[in-house]
């Protein structure tokens, strides 16, 4: 028998660096397996080969955690706005667990079952109703015996607290990740206060994911860490940012950018940007380091390579990659061989190739959060009249 793997807390308590994976919904949307808009993960049941392959690529790149492809897999989200699917939430969550476990067992990786924010919370459903949604997903995770649980992508700390209350009843380690920046959640609760509330709710790992770039996310986790330490509490810290530069974002993050979601490519991080991020996260005391939307396996490989000395090894994918471009010494063209050095790539300021485009955008700022009429969700498809009203509001908000 293979030796038992160390659990997530055993690894973090021992000072190990744990590498997360990347952004499955964005990666699989680009590959033709996820529909933008609902962003739901039925591909786990519809196209398991696609999900399995992406897990394998992240494992090869260095990921220590295979997160179940269960983002937005609560029943209320799967049924939201006319999203008629052939599979139940239970089937999707179960299939996602099986795929993550299959690939995790091919290496030294753990399986994390994940829940995320719900349409029911935005629609002002009760605490009991929202918690029942989380529990339904958690029951599948317990049955499938995932290694730990993650509550991720929460804009409101209150809903994240409710998720933690449910997940900690499993007896498994709980991580929680908000999609907030330095300004705090959408109700103005500061990152430090958010973190304190989540640790008191029972989370052992706290941090942020999505909505902002690495620089902003690392800054936010630093604020969370300061708040937890100021309160005399202890926690481990995680960060899984976007693979997009977002210096022009407001509190809502990248979904307010006019390029979201179909024109974000000019903002993509290079592998060298990611190496800088990995170092900044490590120096900030963050030991669970991964990525969210836009992060591809080569980005995770960059994290693994930047922290290779600290981890004591490189991932299998580094067999096909020279550190800091060293593999270019094999190129046929001499001017490309001349780029086989660290100082070249560290100092490079990449051009966009778009001479008539601005470097920054003006985000939408509709200022809506839980309780606003336009954020009330529905099972029925969005009507033509509802769209006309939104188009008109968009013109007013330009």
For the segment 195-240, what is each residue's pLDDT rounded down to a tens digit?
999 999 999 999 999 999 999 999 999 999 999 999 999 999 999 9
> Which residues fall within 8 angstroms of residue 98, CB to CB, at 6 or more apart?
144
C-alpha 177/C-alpha 150 separation (Å) is 7
CA angle at 38 for the pair 35 and 41, rounded to the nearest 5°: 65
- Amino acid 398: pLDDT: 52
| Residue 184 parent element (H or E) | none
Structure token digits, residue 281: 């996260």
Closest CA to 124 of 73, 76, 189, 85: 76
User: Where are the chain's structural domains?
Assistant: 8-322+363-397
- Residue spans of the chain under pLDDT 70: 1-2, 81-82, 371, 373-374, 396-398
Contact by Cβ (8 Å): 195, 227: yes
Provide the CA 159 distance to its chain's centre, in angstroms.
Answer: 17
Determine whether 300 is exposed, middle or buried from the number of CB atoms within 10 Å of its CB (0-12, 13-18, 19+): buried
Determine whether 103 is exposed, middle or buried from the number of CB atoms within 10 Å of its CB (0-12, 13-18, 19+): buried
Which residues pair with residue 19 across a beta bridge?
289
Structure token digits, residue 129: 């109703």
DSSP 114-174: EEE--HHHHTT--HHHHHHHHHHHHHHHHHTT-SEEEEEEESSHHHHHHHHHHHGGGSS-E
Structure token digits, residue 283: 């120096």
Q: Which CATH architecture has domain 8-322+363-397?
A: Alpha-Beta Barrel (3.20)
Structure token digits, residue 18: 């744990």
């Amino acid at each position: 028998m293979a030796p038992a793997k160390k659990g997530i807390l055993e690894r973090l308590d021992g000072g190990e660096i744990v590498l997360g994976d990347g952004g499955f919904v964005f990666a699989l949307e680009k590959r033709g397996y996820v529909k933008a808009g609902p962003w739901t993960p039925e591909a786990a049941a519809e196209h398991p080969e696609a999900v399995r392959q992406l897990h394998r690529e992240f494992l090869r790149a260095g990921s220590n955690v295979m997160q179940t492809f269960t983002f937005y897999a609560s029943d209320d989200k799967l049924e939201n706005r006319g999203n008629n699917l052939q599979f139940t939430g239970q089937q999707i969550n179960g299939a996602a667990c099986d795929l993550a476990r299959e690939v995790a067992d091919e290496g030294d990786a753990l399986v994390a079952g994940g829940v995320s924010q719900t349409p029911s919370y935005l629609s002002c459903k009760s605490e009991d109703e929202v918690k029942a949604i989380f529990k339904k997903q958690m029951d599948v995770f317990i049955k499938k015996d995932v290694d730990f649980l993650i509550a991720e992508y929460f804009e409101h700390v209150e809903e994240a607290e409710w998720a933690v209350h449910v997940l900690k009843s499993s007896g498994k380690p709980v991580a929680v990740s908000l999609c907030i920046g330095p300004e705090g959640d959408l109700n103005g609760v500061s990152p430090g206060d958010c973190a304190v509330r989540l640790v008191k709710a029972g989370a052992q790992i706290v941090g942020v994911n999505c909505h902002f770039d690495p620089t902003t996310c690392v800054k936010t986790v630093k604020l969370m860490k300061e708040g937890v330490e100021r309160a005399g509490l202890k926690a481990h810290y995680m960060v899984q940012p976007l693979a997009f530069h977002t210096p022009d974002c407001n509190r809502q993050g990248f979904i307010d950018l006019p390029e979201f979601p179909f024109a974000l490519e000019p903002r993509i991080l290079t592998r060298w940007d990611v190496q800088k991020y990995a170092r900044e996260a490590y120096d900030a005391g963050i030991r669970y380091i991964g990525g969210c939307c836009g992060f591809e396996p080569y980005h995770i490989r960059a994290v693994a390579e930047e922290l290779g000395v600290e981890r004591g090894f490189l991932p299998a994918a580094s067999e096909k990659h020279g550190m800091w471009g060293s593999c270019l010494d094999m190129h046929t063209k001499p001017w490309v061989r001349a780029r086989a050095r660290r100082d070249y790539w560290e100092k490079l300021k990449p051009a966009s190739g778009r001479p008539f485009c601005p470097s920054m955008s003006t985000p939408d700022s509709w200022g809506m959060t839980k309780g606003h009429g336009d954020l009330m969700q529905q099972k029925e498809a969005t009507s033509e009249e509802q769209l006309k009203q939104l188009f008109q509001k968009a013109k007013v908000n330009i």
